[in-house]
Amino acid sequence: MTMITICDDDRTVSAELERTLIDIFDKLSVEHEIEVFFAGEDLYKAIESGSHYDLIFLDIEFAQNEINGVEVGRLIRDVRNNHMVSIVYMSRVKSYALELFDLQPFNFLVKPLKHEKIEEVIRKYLKVSGLWSANFTYRIGHDVFKVQIKDIILIESLDKKLILHHADGRKDEFYGSIKAVYHEQLKQFNFLFIHTSYIVNYDYISAFKVNQIFLSDRVTPLPISKHRKDEVRQRYYEIMKSRREG
């Protein structure tokens, strides 16, 4: 269970962010609980009283009679000595980078908040926190098998069967729908659905061309479907960008 809190005195922003987070975590099938505060003092008091949070979305500018988000972050880090919680600061002003540096911010979001930027932060958090050290599950006959997501190079659809290519060179065959496998288990990770016959792991791509993808374990390239070309290219560069930033 991922414990999240939102702290922003703008109730409209808080409500919209809460709805967005629920949508993202539900889509990624990650159990979560969200608590909302409208004042920095209230958040800090909750932490003082023993409340635990994994991820905090913390506004920087509050009303003049309240401590701001930077001060709340300093209390969490220096007074409570809490360096484990990930803090995502939010502001309409972009010039807080240096002031936040020693507070170990996990990320910084500029208002107005955008769904895609919030999702990037969540995906990065899940990756860094290890919550995506997940397994892929499949069935051969009556037996159920698991393999770590990171050890899958490719899943291929052939003659009503799926062929799972392991990083160590092994192959497993099982019955299933490649579309269901992608949407139910692999879409939330860094996999590309390049063709009705192929799902590939970004980490094993050695070259990306207009109509083909080369994988590090094979000489022969895999085709990219014409109707998937734009979607695959966009997803490829999104993953590349997030890796550089992360």
Among 98, 99, 125, smallest CA distance to 25 is for: 125
**75 and 124 share a domain?**
yes
Q: Are residues 22 and 118 in the same domain?
A: yes
Same-domain pairing of 230 and 152: yes
pLDDT at 72 (0 to 100): 94
Domain of residue 95, CATH code: 3.40.50.2300
Which two structure tokens, joined as six digits, stand for 43?
Answer: 């958040």
Same domain, 23 and 58: yes
Q: Given pLDDT bands bounded at 50, 70 and 90, which one contains residue 60? A: very high
Count of H-run helices and E-run strands, the chain:
7, 15
- The pLDDT confidence band at residue 98, using thresholds 50, 70 and 90, is low
Residue 215 CA to residue 153 CA, distance in Å, equals 8
Whether residue 197 sits in one domain with residue 102: no
Answer with the one of 75, 101, 129 that is the final residue of a domain: 129
Q: What is the pLDDT of residue 65?
A: 61
* 181 plus 123 within the same structural domain: no
pTM (two decimals):
0.57
246 compared with 40, residue with greater pLDDT: 40
C-beta contacts of 223-229 below 8 A and 24+ residues apart: 223/194, 223/195, 223/198, 224/194, 224/195, 225/194, 225/195, 225/196, 228/193, 228/194, 228/195
For residue 171, what pLDDT is reported?
Answer: 95
Torsion (CA) 105, 108, 128, 194 in degrees, nearest 10:
-170
Q: Which of 129, 150, 169 is the last residue of a domain?
A: 129
Q: Give me the phi and psi of 158, to 5 degrees please.
A: -150, 120
Domain that holds residue 23: 2-129
**pLDDT for the residue numbered 117:** 94
Please, which pLDDT band fits residue 97 given cuts at 50, 70 and 90?
low
Q: Are residues 79 and 190 in the same domain?
A: no
27 and 44 housed in the same domain: yes
**The total number of structural domains that make up the chain:** 2
CATH code where residue 181 lies: 2.40.50.1020
Considering 129, 154, 178, which residue would you say is the last residue of a domain?
A: 129
More confident residue, 193 or 51: 193
